[in-house]
Amino acid sequence: MLALTKDVILKAIARISAGSHGGPVADSIVDGLIARDLVRRVDGRLELTESGRSYQRSAFRPSWH
């Protein structure tokens, strides 16, 4: 499995969340995110799973938590 850092995962998730405005994500990174159950393919596009949305939310938790 491809070793992905937290920064790479978060940048890829942000691009996927932005849709067509986010820019392309490398196939190897997409495969790594699919293997980690953070994204899935739906009708030819990528969509965040519940785990992916949770991962994204936890990264941007307010500093008082």
pLDDT truncated to tens, each residue of the chain (65 aa)?
678 999 999 999 999 998 878 889 999 999 999 999 999 999 989 999 999 999 999 888 777 75
**What's the rounded Cα separation, in Å, for the pair 11 and 65?**
23
* The pLDDT value given to residue 52: 95
Q: 15 and 46 in contact (C-beta within 8 Å)?
A: no
pLDDT of residue 1: 61
Chain-centroid distance, C-alpha 1: 16
- Beta bridge partners of residue 45, listed in sequence order: 42
3-state class of 37 per DSSP? coil
